[in-house]
Each structure stands twice: as structure tokens, then as C-alpha cells.
Amino acid sequence: MAKKVQTKSTEEILWDAANKLRGSIEPSEYKHVVLSLIFLKFASDKFIKRREELIAEGKEAFLEIPEFYQAENVFYLPEESRWDYIIENAKQEDITLKVDTALKTIERTNKSLEGALPDNYFSRLGLDQSKFSALLDTINNIDTLRDEAQDIVGRVYEYFLSKFAIAEGKGKGEFYTPKSIVNLIAEMIEPYKGKIYDPSCGSGGMFVQSLKFIEKHQGNKKDISIYGQELTNTTFKLAKMNLAIRGISANLGNKAADTFGDDQHKELKADYIMANPPFNLKDWRAENELTDDPRWTGYEVPPKSNANYAWILNMISKLSQNGVAGFILANGALSGGGEEYKIRKQIIENDLVEAIVILPRNMFYSTDISVTLWILNRNKTERTEVRANCDSPRQYRNREGEVLFMDLRQKGEPFEKKFIQFSEQDIEQIAATYHNWQQKDVATTYTNEPEYCYSATLEEIRKKDYSLVPSKYIEFVNRDENIDYDTQMQALQTELKDLFQQEEALKQEVTNVFKSLGYEL
């Protein structure tokens, strides 16, 4: 009987690669080192595959002509940039220099990669040569073309964020958006034609999955223009790398830059916005900075203590006349006070909120909290629109002055033991509920469902003092309506705070007693 071979997952291989670097570089650099090498391996694997196709077609004379690769969205790689060459020289003392040369040569040979790849990065890190060689051997075991449907760069980025969340991700609220959430957003707002914008695009995963949505529905990728912005320079390069390797053209601005302090798309009016900005970002502006920014016109200035509503107003300012935005925020934005309350109230009164969707916990690698999907729509009126892959124009009913609330915390399926993702069936059902609510010809098929969805009027929201917490509107079958759960929760939080204060006071008393007896603590 043949012995069963255990195949390591890509994640396990990548973790092995990271372990090879321990003690050689800072943990925050792990993912950038590994991703650059993954890119080099991925680009080389695609190059070799295309080269074999040319040989099979009897076109050996064209093997060194870049255009025959670029026509198929494959990067032409000179010999010194090919993975085989890197592996052949992996034990040489100048291997880091050779990797830098390979990346620089690829960028010079393929204009779409301009500014995307690290510049003399590996030479500057001072990597231990033996550890780096071991890392190359580990990367060499990854079959980058095994599953071309996977967003490899994004998946690696997400995985490394999960491993180093405390060091670099969790405190900043920077989370790679899981594919099933991006797919849900795409299926709900349907970005078929026009301009797509992401103000915090990270490694570009939103764009990759939205283009896959278009392909799935037989749309035309040429009907879409992509705009994005990213603050961190290394992640900005990752995004350009991630998109370029798939032949996706995008305008990510001239440089990595802060969306608030250095807006790279000031005049943009987007038809679709898809985003997962950093949650609860603090001190995003100085006390007296950006107070008269045109993006806040008509609203209060977002508080510097939390950027949630700054992200919302930035996105509202970028929406075209018929624009739709789908984005993820922490649940606290649904009911905050102060300036946030005033902004939320005005957004609701301006009738921009179309749907509020609570997602399950444990959907992100880097945080286990439940988050909210917001959908904003500048055009909730009765209208007719032609959609891709549709036999007839879609008729939308007038939903002015209404908001659809959905609770998805009972949806999803487990994956990788401790995480939750939406199945294709989940996504189809959720999107169908939303579209049935929207559409005139099937509006009668939409009904409010306990513990799932509720269509609230503006008057109902006013009575709830502009709270967008879905549980205030969706009926819960087993809920005792005579109990004010929100008030009880606040009371419990206050009681817990008092107990902590009493504990601190008791500790101080004990300390004082020991000091009075001559003990030093």
C-alpha cells in the first residue's frame, strides 16, 4: 500500500518561511520580504507557462519578444529575473543583490510595474545569507498556479496580518478584507460599469474580487475604471504589484499618501465605492487641521479622536449622482454621540443610508469583533437601469425615506476551524433579499423577517434618536420587549466600572496599611 503523502498548506509553507527569518529582521518586515519573493515566483511561473505555450504553438522565434507575453497579461522576464536563475544562485554570497536586480529588471522591462517593486530592499535588510537561502528554498515549494482563482498576494497579506496583529495590525485596525465579505459587497452594489474607488485600498484585494464579480456575471472589465489610495508605501507597492500581475489597470495616485491629508483623487466622482478602512483610527488629524475641508461641507467636522465618520464623509463626497458605496466599519459608528451623532443624523436626514448589515463575528483573521456593512445610495428614487447579463432593464421602486436593516450573525459557515465565512448560497440569499427590497417588479416578495431583516421608515429612525443599531428595528422572536436591553447594558458597564474603581481603592488602602507598618511595596 502506497504511503500517503502529507501536503503542506500554503499558509504552513509561508509560516516556515517566516520562521527562517527570526532573529534576522524585524517581524514587521516578514510579510514584505515573503510577498516580494512570492511575486517573483508567481511572475516566473506564469512566464514559464506562457513560454511553454509559445513553444507548443511553434513560435520559438518569439520567445524573447516581450509583446508576446504582455499580450496575455504575463510579464516578460529577462534571464536574470527568472526564478530558476535565483534558485541556482541561492547559495551565493551576493544572492540578496541578485534578487534586488531581478526585481529592478522586471520593473524596467514592464512599464505597468513602475513604482511597484522594492528598490534595493533585500540588500539593505542585511539578511543572514544562510537564512535567506533557506527562505528561497521554502518559497520554491509553493505552486503559485495551483489555484489561479485565489488572490495569492492578498491571502498572504491577510495571513501575515493575523500572525502579527499585535505588532502591526490590530492596534491600527488594519484588516485584509476576507474574500466572502468582498463578494457580498460586490453582489449587493453590483459594480458593472463606471468608476470604482477604494480610499484605503491596502493590497488591492477589493479590486481583484470586484473584477472577478464582473467576470462571473459576463460583464466587461473594460467598462470599469479603478481608483484607489493607500497610506503605507510598502502596502502601496503591494497593491500595484497585486493588480499588475493580473493585468488590472488602476490609478492609485502618484504615491502612497494619507487619504485625509493628501487626497490623490480630489475631483473624483465614483459610481461605486468599496472599502474597509481602518477601524476607530485615532488622531487622524491635528486639532486645527482639516477643519474647513470641502469633504465635510454641510456636516460637522469629524472628531479627531476617531476617523470613522471622516471615512464616511470622504466617501460621500466622492459619490457620483447615482453612486453607491458599500463599506465596513466597527459597530460603534452606528450609535456614537457628540459630533458623530450630529453627522449621522444629517446623513440619515439627507436620505443617503440605504442598508445597514450586521456581519458575524470571527470573519477576520486579525479581530473577532462583529462589524457592520453600510450601503449608501445617492439615488433611492423610482428608476430604470440596464444591468449586465440581464434580459430586461431592472425597475427600482422608490425607497426614499427607508432603510433596510439586516442581521447576518446567524449566517455563515466555519472555515479553518475558528473562522466564519459566507457560503455562495449565503451570499445569493442575502443579495436577493436586498435586491427584492429595492426592485419594483418584485417588491411584493420582500417581507420583514424576524431576526433577519426589517425595512424601517425615516420616522421610525427619528423615534430611535437616529440610532442605526439593527436590533432596535429587527424583531427578535424570543426577546422580551418589556426589557430595555441597551439601558441594561449601559447600567452593567457602569456597574463594572464602579467595581474596578472599588478594587483600585481597596488596593490603595492595603498598600497604605503595609506602608504604615514600615513595609516598602
**pLDDT tens digits, 116-134:** 888 888 888 888 888 888 8
Do 319 and 395 sit in the same domain of this protein? yes
The reported pLDDT for the residue numbered 388 is 56
The reported pLDDT for the residue numbered 165 is 47
pLDDT at 390 over 70: no
pTM above 0.95, yes or no: no
Do 130 and 23 sit in the same domain of this protein? yes
Do 376 and 464 sit in the same domain of this protein? yes
Q: Kindly state whether residue 195 falls inside one of the protein's structural domains.
A: yes
Q: Kindly state whether residue 50 falls inside one of the protein's structural domains.
A: yes
Do 378 and 502 sit in the same domain of this protein? no
Do 410 and 509 sit in the same domain of this protein? no
For residue 187, the domain's CATH number is: 3.40.50.150
CB atoms within 10 A of CB 29: 16
Residue where a domain stops, chosen among 434, 450, 472: 472
Do 240 and 103 sit in the same domain of this protein? no
Q: Kindly state whether residue 159 falls inside one of the protein's structural domains.
A: no
Rounded mean pLDDT, 366-393 = 80
Indicate the average pLDDT of the chain: 85
Q: Kindly state whether residue 282 falls inside one of the protein's structural domains.
A: yes
Least confident of 70-74, 149-153, 341-345, 500-504: 149-153
486's enclosing H/E stretch is helix 485-516
Q: Kindly state whether residue 154 falls inside one of the protein's structural domains.
A: no
Residue where a domain stops, chosen among 148, 179, 196: 148
Which amino acid is located at 90 in the chain? A
Do 307 and 434 sit in the same domain of this protein? yes
Indicate the pLDDT class of residue 437, thresholds 50, 70 and 90: very high
Which amino acid is located at 147 in the chain? D
CA distances from 306 to 122, 171, 328, 331 (A): 36, 13, 15, 13
Domain count, the chain: 3
Rounded mean pLDDT, 173-188 = 81
pLDDT in tens, 189-222: 999 889 999 999 988 888 988 888 888 887 788 8
Do 221 and 89 sit in the same domain of this protein? no
Q: Kindly state whether residue 339 falls inside one of the protein's structural domains.
A: yes
Of 434 and 9, the one with more pLDDT:
434
Highest-confidence segment of 13-17, 219-223, 271-275: 271-275
The reported pLDDT for the residue numbered 167 is 44
Indicate the pLDDT class of residue 150, thresholds 50, 70 and 90: low
Q: Give 390-443 as a DSSP string.
A: -SSPEEEP--TTEEEEEE-TT--EEETTTEEE--HHHHHHHHHHHHHHHBSTTG
Do 249 and 142 sit in the same domain of this protein? no
R_g over Cα of the chain: 26
Do 357 and 297 sit in the same domain of this protein? yes
Q: Kindly state whether residue 47 falls inside one of the protein's structural domains.
A: yes
CB atoms within 10 A of CB 171: 11
Do 448 and 348 sit in the same domain of this protein? yes
Indicate the pLDDT class of residue 59, thresholds 50, 70 and 90: very high
Q: Kindly state whether residue 155 falls inside one of the protein's structural domains.
A: no
Q: Which domain holds residue 111?
A: 10-148
Asked if residue 43 lies in contact with residue 245, where contact means CB atoms within 8 angstroms, the answer is: yes
Do 203 and 315 sit in the same domain of this protein? yes
- Characterize 386-411 residue by residue with b for buried, 16 or more Cβ atoms within 10 angstroms of its Cβ, and e for exposed: eeeeeeeebebbebeebbbbbbbeeb
Residue where a domain stops, chosen among 88, 120, 148: 148
For residue 59, the domain's CATH number is: 1.20.1260.30
Strands 402-407 and 353-358 come out as parallel
